[in-house]
Amino acid sequence: MEYTEFTGKTVEDAVEKGLEQLGLTKETAEWEVIDEGKKGLFGRKARIKMAQKEVKEIAEKVWEDGATDGERAVAFLDGLFKMLNMSACSELISEKEKIVINVTAANSNAVIGKRGATLDALQTLAGAVANTGRDDYKRVVVDCENYREGREETLKKLAENLAQKAIRLGRKIKLEEMNPYERRIMHSALSSFEGVKTISEGKEPYRYVVIVPDNEEDPSAPAIPARGDRRDRDNRRGDRRDRGRGGRRDGVDRVSNHKRSGGRDRRESRGGSSSGGTTMKASFDFFGTFLGNSKDQ
């Protein structure tokens, strides 16, 4: 099994963090304490390593002789729901090109989880059970209240909106971490979208999609997050204004210098200089540039 390390203030905190990030429960996960940590101001953090339990360990409790691959997966899920004290049952919808299982639950949110994390974990387990003993892998889809169809439509719309944004800004955009299934949806949605290409970066389970526009202004610039904070947006607006106004920063610097000089230019324009009576007109031509291009793109 592939273990992942987690840390926390206590062992319990580390375990909870591991369960949430891996989309597991205490019944479907196993962990080992590496360091219990040490209390105090400069104490060490607790460290554990966690992995998903071997599927056979759970599946043996609900295995049915002579059952089809899909029926074994359904029996496994129903047995797992009982172990977790969840009021839910599964139904085999199709078993032709792929195995499709629908879950009905009293609390669908508990089955789906945050952004489908729990549903994905159930699908992974059901897929492992259904493909045990098979030479060729058969895809298994576990759904609940048509969540996957709705999620797919949401991701497609998000992909198109962010692609348009990447082209408009001339910057590549980094999306949040997604599982392989959702990343495939994003890649597929933009495969024929003109003006952009998509790549995946990072390591599992933190791998994410990056949308790269063909008109990218600076390939060396880091990708901007799909949901940047206000400070990031303000910085980008400032950059665009500087490029569009042909050097607004220089104008701002002139204002600052004028203020630091105590307004000597203005006084000299009124009464002339003490050295020879030559008048100087204050330069405020940058205001014309500012007002002439005040619309943000």
Q: What is the CATH number of the domain that holds 14?
A: 3.30.30
Asked whether the predicted pLDDT for residue 264 surpasses 90, the reply is no
Between residues 161 and 83, the one the model is more confident about: 161
**Picking from 165-169, 210-214, 264-268, which range would have the lowest pLDDT averaged per residue?**
264-268
pTM, two decimal places: 0.52
Q: What are the residues facing 224 on neighbouring strands?
A: 173
Number of domains in the chain: 3
- The amino acid at residue 227 is R
β partners of residue 105: 88
Residue 80 tokens read as 């797992």
CA angle (82 as vertex; 81, 84 as ends), nearest 5: 65
In a domain, residue 177? The reply is yes
Give residue 107's domain range. Answer: 56-145
Contact 74, 88 (CB under 8 A): no
Closest C-alpha among 15, 23, 72 to residue 52: 23
pLDDT band at 267 (very low <50, low <70, confident <90, very high): very low
**Residue 71 shares a structural domain with residue 122:** yes
Q: Phi-psi region for residue 133, left (φ > 0), alpha (ψ -120 to 50) or beta?
A: left
Residues 44 and 112 in one domain: no
What's the confidence (pLDDT) of residue 65? 59
pLDDT surpassing 90 at residue 96: no
Q: Looking at the predicted structure, is the pLDDT value of residue 62 above 90?
A: no
pLDDT at 94: 92
Give the CATH number of the domain where residue 120 resides: 3.30.300.20
Mean per-residue pLDDT over the chain, rounded = 77
Q: How many CB atoms neighbour CB 239 within 10 A? A: 13
Among 27-41, 137-151, 274-288, which is the least confidently predicted range? 274-288
> What does the block give as tokens for 191?
């495969």
Instruction: Report phi then psi at 166, rounded to 5.
Output: -60, -40
